[in-house]
Amino acid sequence: MAEVRTRFAPSPTGYMHIGNLRTALYAYLIARKNNGKFILRIEDTDQERYVEGAVDVIYNTLKLVGLQYDEGPDIGGAYGPYIQSQRKNIYAEYAKKLIDLGGAYYCFCSKERLEALREECKKKGIPFKYDGHCRNISKEEAEERIKKGEQYVIRQKIPMTGRTGFHDEVYGDITVSNDTLDDNILIKSDGMPTYNFAHVIDDHLMGITHVVRGSEYLSSTPKYVLLYKAFGWDIPVYIHLPLIVRPDGKKLSKREGDASFEDFYEKGYLKEAIINYIALLGWSPGTDEEIFSLKELEQRFSIEGLNKSPAVFDINKLRWMNGEYIRRMSLEQFNEAAMPYYKKVIKRQNIDFMKLSSLLHTRTEVLSEIPENIDFIEELPDYDVNMYVHKKMRTDLKNSLEHLKKAYEVLQDVQEWDDEHIHDALFKLIQELGVKNGQVLWPIRTAVSGKQFTPGGAIELSSLLGKEETLRRIKIGIDKLSNV
């Protein structure tokens, strides 16, 4: 059996969207599962869409998520160059060969003629299709016109009759009538190839055995199959992936404001969680398992597990999965990951960050949400006094004031300021007062945080803030309640 060779061939347009990363992941997994090679190729023939720095985004993203390619522009290989704009001469050579084989022809139609044809199709309510005006120009005449300086493109010569079919590993057998296919442009007037031509030439010359790409290319694949046949080349295994859609059924799109990989990563989603979640967008392991490391995916992934139904991108599911990954971190790992987010809002020197991490570790789903959950540590917000009223805790403004005053007195006498001693002092007070725990603890939590939701309770927050700051904040609470 020939060595399995897959490729990821992105266009450098500035970001790595989720669909692109999934294509890269599946191509990588197919190669690794079969002890094959995974190749990176940059498809930059559409220079109008080229974004400066975008190639580095591709390199950095693949490196970050652990998709190590075996050949590519920055590491070389036996089939380079791996950047299409550097392969222009190769495409010109193969385009001429294809003309000699009868699979392509020179087209001299002006922009004005093509525009008129386009308008005509529009009036008739039919899709634009080139009318073959230059199909039968002899090679001699074409070469003469080229010598005279006429501008031209090279078009594919699609058979006018018959049918072309291929097998896709996800969608099965697909066959179309050749008369529905357009004689699309293979080489543009500036000498640059189109995607339709370049990727076929490159996939053949680079020995690609499995082509993994989005299902939007399904309808064009018969044209690519005809190119392979015209050259007499083996056709690769096709694996077209289902669309990724939003919950409303619309296609996931950066233009529509949908997040790219970088967006999620910068928001504090873990790269391992993103990759794990993306793996499940169109693939199932055949069990209820959902958490897989990249190494586990390399073993478990199979083409048979892919399905053709659109995959729904559910941000809540990604959040859940990210939370699962965070909980699997050691406390030290979480503290390290959370530190940049702590530093955004906490400037105080006396905060025990490991203690803060122990409070947040199991309560955090996305790292970027940490600052809004801990901003009260640096500065007590100006909160509404009605926050002291809590039906479930049986607190009101009157008993909150009374219990805050008593807690203030008790806490002043605590010598060793830690969870254990604060707990003992407050629970002794609760016992003496003969009230529910919440009637004392809720007012303290409100006073020290000024927030409805906090990463810990009254005892943990008081311990974290330190004795002086805790008493200062309780005093502010007493003053607020006294002035009602």
Region at 300 (left for phi over 0; alpha for psi -120 to 50; beta for the rest)? alpha
Q: Is 172 helix (H, G, I), strand (E, B) or coil?
A: strand
Longest dimension (CA), the chain: 108
| Peptide bond preceding 159 in cis form (omega within 30 of 0) | no
Query: What is the DSSP code string of 354-404?
Result: HHHHHHHGGG-S-GGGHHHHHHHHHS-----GGGG-BTTTTB-HHHHHHHH
- Tell me if residue 254 is catalytic: yes
| Contact between 172 and 81 (Cβ < 8 Å) | no
Cα torsion through 284, 289, 292, 296, rounded to 10:
-80
Query: Is 111 known as a binding-site position?
Result: no
Of 88, 97, 254, 308, catalytic: 254
The Cα–Cα gap between 129 and 182 comes to 5
The sign of the CA dihedral 474, 476, 479, 480 is negative
The residues, any chain, with a CB within 8 Å of residue 407's CB and separated by 6 or more, are 426, 429, 440, 443, 444, 474
Q: 250: which 2 tokens?
A: 């619309």
Q: 382: which 2 tokens?
A: 């100006």
Cα angle for residues 338, 325, 295 (degrees, 5° grid): 125
The Cα–Cα gap between 276 and 293 comes to 7
Single-letter code of the amino acid located at 30: I
Which letter, b or e, does each residue of 451-473 get, where b requires 16 or more Cβ atoms within 10 Å of its Cβ?
beebbbbbbbbbbbbebebbbeb
Q: 19: which 2 tokens?
A: 């669909």
Rg (CA), the chain: 32
Which residues are designated catalytic? Answer: 254
Where is the binding site, in residues? 254
Task: Mark the binding-site residues for ATP, compressed into ranges.
Answer: 254
